[in-house]
Structure 1
Amino acid sequence: MHDPYLMALHALADPFRANSLREYHKVDRVYLGLTNPQLNDLTKQWRDEVDLANRITIADGLWRTNIFEARIAAAKMLTQARMRDSDEEAWQLIATWYRDFDSWAIADHACTAGQKRLLADPSRIERVESWTRSEHMWTRRAALVITLPWTKMNNPKPEDLEIRERVLGWAGDYTSDPQWFIQKAIAGWLSDLGKHDPERVRSFIDAHGDAMKPFARKEAVRLLK
């Protein structure tokens, strides 16, 4: 069922830009060279044309191709705040993609789709917590990226604060991880939180800052007043 959608992606292919993407992301897969605005326009049209059940089928098929733009399009097909029908099947699909993460761009788009489903049902945090124990670096990173909405809440409810503290606990454990992408994810999470709760970021740095890489510690506090 995804073939017409894959054909639409191929129709906009730009070989020169595709080569640039391959060099930038340094992952061996097919790149078509589409821009993000092109993908936004296509997937918006597709979301308007098909119901949720078919969007899930299309997204699954696009993801399985392992084409860079197809995987991003798959995530965009399932990125929306509210789903009129039950979103459980969409969540179940998104929550399997983490096993395939191997680049930040694909991972971030998939996690953006996952953020909406996690906000819709915060009890799903239990499944996300299992990712923190993975040997796969991109899976561990995804646990921080998918929970970023909890850094941006101006008036968090008690249950939101509980999730925020839970993720900060994961971040504290991650500080001993030397992987650059993990350190960068910690810094990004703290930087976003600092715009809303700078004191909590300061207390985190007091407790864990010495274990962080210097660049990550600097980035985490860069915007604090």
Structure 2
Amino acid sequence: MQELDRLRAMADPERAARDAARHKTGRETLGLAPADIETLAREWRERHDLDGRVALARALWDSDIHDARLLAARLLVQARMRPDDGAWQAILDWAPQIDGVEIGDAVMSAASRRLVADPARIEASEDWAGDGSPWLRRGALMATLPWAKMNNPKPADLAIRDRVLDWAAELAHDRHGAVRQAVQTWLRDLGRRDPDRVAAWQPAPRPEPEPEPDDQSL
């Protein structure tokens, strides 16, 4: 695959070693700089039609190379994409495979464009918010960030905003720090547009710790 050959030709072994140590997934990492990934994504988006872009993105993802997966997600970061069912299905297929913040946030950046294009897809994000994977729980919030950033939301947008704030209330005490960080990101971005709504928001009560077994139950 010539695109993978090009990625390998751009590899930076020293950066790759640092990146791999940070990600801790064991996945092959080439060490491409974010600017290089963005340049390639822009070039390949222009070169391929929509079906070709989705097919290339899937092939890059299936290579299981860290940088290629980032690039796969970037290929689908586009506001106007019609029809976009193929891109959305790719995102749904990738979501359960997310195993870290960097790839997860890249995929959810693409997902956010598809959610704005068709807000009915918010149901998928609600499923992610209750998923056993912390990366998907984080993803539910990252994918819906556009609703935190809207300056002039319509009634339907306000309903989605309230819905996500309900998820955030449940996730505010999540045991995984990346999820709690996503809650804070959502509230921070919303606070710049609607500080009163953030002031009125309350996290759900902190779950009670499970009691220690007494001697009789041992």
User: Shared fold by TM > 0.5?
Assistant: yes
Checking the alignment, whether the CA contact within 8 Å between 2:76 and 2:110 is kept in structure 1 is yes
Identity %: 43
Deviates more, 1:137-146 or 1:169-178: 169-178
The C-alpha deviation readout for 1:73-105, integer Å capped at 9, x for no partner, is: 00111111101x310111111122111111111
Task: Please tell me whether residue 39 in structure 1 is matched to residue 34 in structure 2.
Answer: no
CA distance in 1, matches of 2:182, 2:136: 12
TM superposition shift of 1:209 = 7.8
Q: Quick check: 1:183 aligned with 2:180? A: yes
CA–CA separation in structure 2 for the residues paired with 1:131 and 1:208:
19
Deviations 1:47-68 (A, max 9, x none): 1111010111110111111111
1:43 Cα offset (Å): 1.4
Alpha-carbon distance, 1:176 to partner: 3.3
Tell me how far apart the structure 2 counterparts of residues 33 and 198 of structure 1 sit (CA, whole Å): 40
**Residue 57 (structure 1) aligned to one of 31, 55, 58:** 55
More displaced stretch, 126-135 vs 184-193: 126-135
Counterparts of residues 149-164 of structure 1 (less than 5 Å): 149-164=146-161
Instruction: Give 1 or 2 for the bigger CA radius of gyration.
Output: 2
Match of 1:216 in 2: none
Range that drifts further, 22-31 or 185-194? 22-31
C-alpha distance in 2 between matches for 1:8 and 1:151: 38
Following superposition, the deviation at residue 210 of structure 1 comes to: 6.9
Gaps of 5+ in 1: 213-225
In the TM superposition, 1:47-196 aligns within 5 A as 47-83=45-81, 85-196=82-193
After TM superposition, the structure 1 stretch with the greater mean CA deviation from structure 2, 173-182 or 57-66, is: 173-182
Aligned residues: 207
CA distance in 2, matches of 1:25, 1:176: 24
Point out where structure 2 has 5 or more consecutive residues left out of the alignment: 208-218
1:219 corresponds in structure 2 to: none
- TM-superposed deviation, 1:23: 1.4
- The C-alpha deviation readout for 1:91-145, integer Å capped at 9, x for no partner, is 1111221111111111111111111111000010012211122111111111001
CA shift for structure 1 position 211: 3.9
C-alpha RMSD of matched pairs (Å): 1.4
Q: Distance in 2 between matches of 1:177 and 1:78?
A: 29
12, 25, 28: which one aligns with 2:26: 28
Q: TM-score, normalised by structure 2?
A: 0.91
- CA drift of 1:175 comes to 2.1
**Relative to structure 1, is the Cα distance of residues 14 and 22 closer, same or farther in structure 2, using a 3 angstrom cutoff?**
same
Residue type matched to 2:160 in 1? I
| Partner of residue 218, structure 1 | none
TM-score (norm 1): 0.89
Task: Kindly provide the amino acid, as one letter, of the partner of residue 138 in structure 2.
Answer: R
Q: How far apart are the structure 2 equivalents of 1:134 and 1:211? A: 19
